[in-house]
Structure 1
Amino acid sequence: MDVRPVTFAALVEELAERIAAAPGDAWVRVALDGAPAAGPGELADALVGPLRVRGREVMRVSAADFLRPASLRFEHGRTDPDAFHDDWLDYGALSREVLDRLEPGGPGKVLPTLWDATRDRATRAAYVTVPKGAVLLMDGALLLGRWLPFDVTVHLWMSPNALARRTAEDQRWTLPAYARYEEEAGPLDTADVVVRVDDPRHPAVAER
């Protein structure tokens, strides 16, 4: 891959232009995929304004609000990287309650949150109507290679050393899960856009 350095502001504008250019009046479902250290949530938040300037309404959803209950996540302990990779995120609920509802001809009503992991209980959020032509921006980790129906996928990639350096000490047990994800899901090959963020202040777009 060729790597093209960009500023964060330029990256946001470039992605906003690409997403807003999607044809038709259907919804556009966008994944901002990356480990927390890569900042997928920050990038998703930064895209909201530029997309609205381009005439696209935006619905923000975080995959972290669709975790499974603690009894399922911690069935093999609280620091099991394979369980983190396979069992923490409720992929079925993400499809059923969010992404499938924005299929062409779908109802256009999504559940913005499902589970409060801190309190370990359902959020009991109400469904939200997403206007036709709007963009769903979903940030999260380990989103690709799961048969989730996204229209545009952006993967924020960090080298193993950078990821280890920028991951909090109490979260470094998750590193083997990200290594497994890169090997099995191949996000560098499957994402529509790959952005290298070893230093989030100086991103670089990786072009095939």
Structure 2
Amino acid sequence: MRLVSTPRVVFLRGLADEILGWVGRGRMTIAIDGPLRSGKSALGDDFAAVLAERDHAVFRARMEDFHRSRAAQAAFGDDTPERYYGYGFDESAFRRSLIEPFRMGGSTAFVTRVFDPARDAWVEPRWLTGPEDALLVVDGRFLLRDRLAALWDVRIAVAGEPTDAADVIAYRAADPRRAADLVVDLSDPERPRLAPSS
């Protein structure tokens, strides 16, 4: 289905053209990193919709849906920004349930959500499959950290300075704007633009 051609959609179509020109056939993983309340989730939703215009199979996931439970986080010490940055997300489940099976292609099933952080509870997994040529768009905090860097074919960061304490720690450790292939300025969400990498 063709989207209405707003300035935001036109920008994202240009972004899609550029990114799809970088890669050949097969499965592709796209990460969108940015600080808390930066607009990265809405960007991921809209970008996935633009990619779907081109008749690609597109799957959408959020790192928020791979949280560790509060009890599991507590095993790593007191509730601090440092603990959240280090251990807030279940990266093992993220790799095992989503990234690794998605990258295998074919009929291998994967899940895009394992945990509901609002309820602090696991969710019933919904196993998905897709064609060999499929795109996975994931948004979340800390996605471009060093230990996850190899998971992504395309790395996008949202421009802007972190204000949340855990984000400040993350940016000091590895600024996602420096790791990104593209940096998107969402200071005017209706008219995003590319920003220079930091």
TM range (shorter): 0.7 to 0.9
Query: TM-score, with normalisation over the residues of structure 2?
Result: 0.84
Q: After superposition, where does 1:115-130 map in structure 2 within 5 Å?
A: 115-130=115-130
- With over 3 angstroms needed to count, the CA separation of the structure-2 counterparts of 1:203 and 1:54, relative to structure 1, is same
CA contact (8 A) 1:38 1:200 kept: no
Matched positions, count: 188
Give the Cα–Cα distance (whole angstroms) in 2 for the partners of residues 73 and 194 of structure 1.
31
Deviates more, 1:61-70 or 1:177-186: 177-186
Give the Cα–Cα distance (whole angstroms) in 2 for the partners of residues 155 and 108 of structure 1.
29
- Structure 2, gaps ≥5 residues long: 1-6
Partner of 2:3: none
- With over 3 angstroms needed to count, the CA separation of the structure-2 counterparts of 1:110 and 1:40, relative to structure 1, is same
Q: After superposition, where does 1:138-149 map in structure 2 within 5 Å?
A: 138-145=138-145, 146-148=147-149, 149=151
Give the Cα–Cα distance (whole angstroms) in 2 for the partners of residues 108 and 39 of structure 1.
32
Give the Cα–Cα distance (whole angstroms) in 1 for the partners of residues 121 and 22 of structure 2.
37
Partner of 1:153: 155
Q: After superposition, where does 1:51-200 map in structure 2 within 5 Å?
A: 51-74=51-74, 76-78=77-79, 80-103=80-103, 108-145=108-145, 146-148=147-149, 149-160=151-162, 164=163, 175-200=164-189
Shift of 1:18: 2.6
Give the Cα–Cα distance (whole angstroms) in 2 for the partners of residues 116 and 185 of structure 1.
27
- Structure 1, gaps ≥5 residues long: 1-6, 165-174
Deviation per CA, 1:50-77: give whole Å up to 9, x if none.
Answer: 2122231100111111000111234545
Shift of 1:22: 4.5
Give the Cα–Cα distance (whole angstroms) in 2 for the partners of residues 102 and 93 of structure 1.
13
Shift of 1:81: 0.8
Deviation per CA, 1:64-110: give whole Å up to 9, x if none.
Answer: 110001112345455x2111211111112111111112335675421
Query: TM-score, with normalisation over the residues of structure 1?
Result: 0.80
Give the Cα–Cα distance (whole angstroms) in 1 for the partners of residues 108 and 17 of structure 2.
23
Q: Secondary structure at the match of 1:110?
A: coil
CA RMSD of aligned residues (A): 2.2
